[in-house]
Structure 1
């Protein structure tokens, strides 16, 4: 490695340490770290800006605006209410309803934080009438929504795909999504069985919804705006899947048409506030810095070192477990995968097991979102009765830790067996 490459790697580690210890945005720190790398390497800053992920930026912003219209028009609320009304007293189906809705929204392209933030309070409202299913229903929602984020239409899936494209790797995007959803279904089913066993043995692990969850405030809506928002979502999926139009630009176009047609009901400031600007800054800043590292040859040097170490079982396990660990201590799954996948693809790009290595790394990472230091875990705790929140914090932390230990190892067995 050359001196500029070593400096860029050292600064990347420093960025991660400071971001975790100080709870700072990785994107801000990464862009700040670019200055000494540029100065020491002598590269023109314009070269770094060519690595800015403009397509990812448009994708996240466009899809977020489109789903903001679905929220604003109350189309999502009406749909979710009808689903839960149809279930009625069949309480065993409540977790699966939330799972399917959250997974469907993320699969269609919603940045997973959006359906989670929308659905967790709604599930808490439903949980008032079925206390024993409240916690499991909340967990099912976030597992379904985040696991479905590996859809090719979703920003998370797009980040993984972009990392693969940079090194010429091809894999089945929908295949990765299918593996992720299969594992998610198994995890939710296992949790449902464990909760039932604990209840029968007199050690229930349920939680009580907060009293505020029983309250629901109706807001006026326009039926035409509601119908148009639903039609826009359907058009979005059809255009992207069948006509192969660009995901971000398609979402932005449909969101703009809704804004033009229903500006009286769609306040622009409210819509723009639904765009996850922190996540956009995190991801774009980190990927720009990683792009700079690619330009000066750091990523190639890392891949060369890893190839000398071998592409065997140990390397698969190290990358898979390191990713799960980082996802537990850093709140952005998207950012962690943006960091780790270039390394994984660099090491396994020219092997026949690259798809299963990708699954072993990405699928467990999506499950860590229930960690109580993450947004999703915090939302669950915030919608739980105050006197139970400390106990629930420990349970969620234990559950996230258990999944971080079990799932990377199990999924790594497949690529290891194929070596």
Structure 2
């Protein structure tokens, strides 16, 4: 899922719950083991990060960041460099909400047991990579009732439970079918499907769920890759259409129209087997990616077998996609500048010299992350508490937006006094 940045609500206390709840949360978090991946956070701080157009907000007001990754397979180096490391680097700058977008993962055939395990594995990797619960909220998408999937809310939250199925339904009713039929990702994935029976309505409707993720949190800025730009434009169109139709005469709009946040740096990591294709969890060839939990032996094997070219020397060049990718990874893993890597590359005899250096850099960089992950697996109660408290904070914000959307469309809310 795309990252999102939004202004913090002026009622910040209500966003995060009562002060008592905050106290319990702080006490639990402060008693938790210190993240062993501090070196990863330091490395992330040195990376070039997203640049928000128009600069910061009012003095003392943090913008909200919402981002997430699908729990399909194991997170890989592309997920880390393209998203998670930048989350870590920006934790002090924003009011952060990071989710595991499990509802997105079921739009295509999946193994229920694997989805459950991958959801917790992904959340644990967020923490292991350096996301700090004292500074960021971490939650599972389906644990927040307002995201619209058919689920049960926590006991005692009857209003949120009644609102749950409505949000995506409301956005669906505001979205022309023709808009979804034009979505490139749907066309590509449906064409690759074995038959029509394997193409779900969820896949067709996936962009509306993505729009719901963004609009629920009043996101102003959304860091997106090239493959997500069309989804962002659809989200803007849905927000504009909803506001024009239901909130045109109101003092404020229900939804913010988000803008693209351009992410700088060499965050785009390509396949180890094809320098022109993005590193992907869905690639059937495991040699195409470095998974964050790969062992040192697996990393060495994958780097040894990665695709290179036969051009003499090693260096950056528009005509050398594999060389650009591998040098970019080395640059990110070592913290060296492009100029420093170029100077070092001039001393290498060939790929046989460079590949062991790259493997060593990857192993050294991922070691603290893997150590912290092992600690988290051994303490599942702590992970459960982080996810529970993160979901409570997220639900406060999402449910408020959902209630505003309901009122705009003319729905009544449970418990309110009837007006005739």
* Structure ranking higher in helix proportion: 1
TM-score normalised by the chain length of structure 1: 0.27
The TM-score, its normalising length taken from structure 2, stands at 0.27
